[in-house]
Amino acid sequence: MKETAKYLKWLSILCVLMALFGIAIFALGYQVASPFRVATVVALFIGSGVFAFFSRRQSQ
């Protein structure tokens, strides 16, 4: 696996973990789900998908 593909894979995993952490904060009631916070979680999930796509593309 190329170094670039590895880096993109780790970025994808990191984005998913941060998004799940954001959802956990909403679920536990620590913070209210404002539109900007929800947009951040959605952007992290989208970013994760994009990084995963390019990681798979780089490894081929």
pLDDT digits (tens, 9 = 90+) for 35-53: 999 999 999 999 999 999 9
The count of domains in the chain is 1
| pLDDT for the residue 1 | 67
Residue 32's region, left for phi above 0, alpha for psi from -120 to 50, else beta, is: beta
Instruction: Check residue 39 and give its pLDDT.
Output: 97
If you average pLDDT over every residue of the chain, what do you get? Answer: 93
String of DSSP letters for 28-55: HTSS---HHHHHHHHHHHHHHHHHHHHH
- Output the pLDDT for position 2: 83
Top pLDDT among 2 and 36 is at 36
What lies within 8 Å, CB to CB, of 6 at 6+ separation is 55
User: What is the reported pTM?
Assistant: 0.88
